[in-house]
Amino acid sequence: MKKARLIKSGEFVQASEAKYDDHQGIYQCPHCKSALHLRKEYTRSDGIIVSAAFIHPSHVTEEQKNCPLRIQK
């Protein structure tokens, strides 16, 4: 997802503008309220650029698994 809530300030932050320094404040999914991981933009080995995003953790509850904002593999 491209936007998440930074718990320490309550503000929504764009993944492209998020900083790892702020990660101590924990980013939260606006729908299921799960703590999220920040994945910064990177270039794959085939040259394709993958944009920054917040991602749900791999170990999930049933509610997290059904979150409509979760990217399915």
| Cα gap 38→35, rounded to integer Å | 10
Mean pLDDT of the chain: 85
Handedness of CA 32, 38, 43, 49 (dihedral sign): positive
Mean pLDDT of 35-53: 93
Helix, coil or strand: residue 51? coil
Angle at 12 between CA 6 and CA 23, to 5 degrees: 30
Helix, coil or strand: residue 21? helix
pLDDT at residue 21, as a whole number: 72
Give domain limits for the chain: 3-65
Grade residue 67 by pLDDT with cuts at 50, 70 and 90.
confident
Mean pLDDT of 29-49: 92
pLDDT at residue 62, as a whole number: 77
